[in-house]
Structure 1
Amino acid sequence: MASKSATNPRGIPTAPFVEKVEDYIATRADVEPAMRKFQEMISKYQFMEVNTQRRTLSLRDKIPDIQKTLDTVRFLKDRKNSDEPFETSFELNDTLYAKASVKAGEEVYLWLGANVMLSYPVAEAEELLQGKLAAAKESLGNCEEDLDFLRQQITTLEVNTARLYNWEVALKRKEKEAGGSEK
């Protein structure tokens, strides 16, 4: 049974559920257009599902990076009042690391993307990263919810298609039997 709302919270439409084919289809001639409509809707839902899966994977990659950066900023914040530098290793590329002696300062530099790096006060950087992390986690939750919703809609439409097909087969059989008994 379709939900009372016509869409989910992010605007994805709810698929119609056909309980009684007779109420949905008037004649056998209406079956083929209805089945084409359901197949088209399934294709649209599958397209949305693939895009949502890509977005989910992207978020699952980004969240640990944001968390790691936030942890680093918090570490620097804790070390800000210490005059003593600390030794650390940092990544130059995928397989190359370097050691450095670092004294925590008043600001940090964050990559924003598209080869853009900005300087932020440590407290402001922490606030920015907390916001980005919360938004990414919320977005991931929405994506996972949307994936479940899309799978339900695809299943509903596949059931509808099977019901229409079975109804048409049963109708053809009745017509054939009725035609055979008249002779």
Structure 2
Amino acid sequence: MADLLPKNTNPRGIPEAPFIEKVENVLKNPETEFDSTMSLFQQRLQQYKYMELSKKQQLADLQIKIPDIEKNLDVIRLIKEKKEDEKLVMNYELNDTLYSKAEVKVKELDSVYLWLGAEVMLEYNLEDATELLNERLKKNQEQLTIVKEDLEFLKENITTMEVNTARLYNWDVERRKNAK
């Protein structure tokens, strides 16, 4: 059973699944240890699947946040570029399928309002808004890389635990067949 304890983890502390080459090396007394070992394998597998589900949700959230931040940066960039124009006609989204037009007097526009979440919206001048959005974009892109690495690590470990569980089960079936 000591072979099943995690020896290594990834940088975020997710334990690496042990690979069991020979079931006989893990189970010294099959009659008493099989059920608890099988249960341990299945628990670990469920833990990995739960972590994978959580990471997939994080991935989905980031895949929504990053394009939103990029859109906001594009709008601010456009405002800065068109600063010499009297006004700018823009289409904006009211709802998923509903858009409207607005005339913006860009010459007089020195600030934007950013939705920060948790029912908070703040006014920022264009430079501060750009800086804040660039920082958030960088952090979210870094987090996206980390989440993808964790998902790959979990995928490998789920496969390892599924193989371990199948090996253990097949070994027990063979052992019982030979005992008859």
- Identify the TM-score tier after normalising by the shorter chain: 0.7 to 0.9
How far off its partner does 1:72 sit? 0.8
Larger Rg: 1
Partners of 2:25 and 2:113 in 1: CA distance: 64
SS state at 1:17 partner? coil
2:78 to 75, 79, 103: 75
Alignment of 1:157 with 2:161, yes or no, is yes
1:89 to 88, 91, 95: 91
How far off its partner does 1:83 sit? 5.5
Give the counterpart letter for 1:23 in structure 2.
N
List per-residue Cα deviations over 1:42-78 (Å, max 9, x = no partner): 1111111111111111111111111000111122223
Check conservation: 1:45, 1:153, Cα contact below 8 A.
yes
Q: TM-score, with normalisation over the residues of structure 1?
A: 0.85
How far off its partner does 1:122 sit? 1.0
Alignment of 1:64 with 2:75, yes or no, is no
Q: TM-score, with normalisation over the residues of structure 2?
A: 0.86
Unaligned runs of 5+ in 1: 177-183
Alignment of 1:126 with 2:130, yes or no, is yes
1:93-132, aligned counterparts within 5 Å?
93-94=95-96, 95-104=98-107, 105-132=109-136
Q: Residue 50 of structure 2 corresponds to which residue in structure 1?
A: 47
Q: Residue 30 of structure 1 corresponds to which residue in structure 2?
A: 33
SS state at 2:52 partner? helix
How far off its partner does 1:115 sit? 2.1
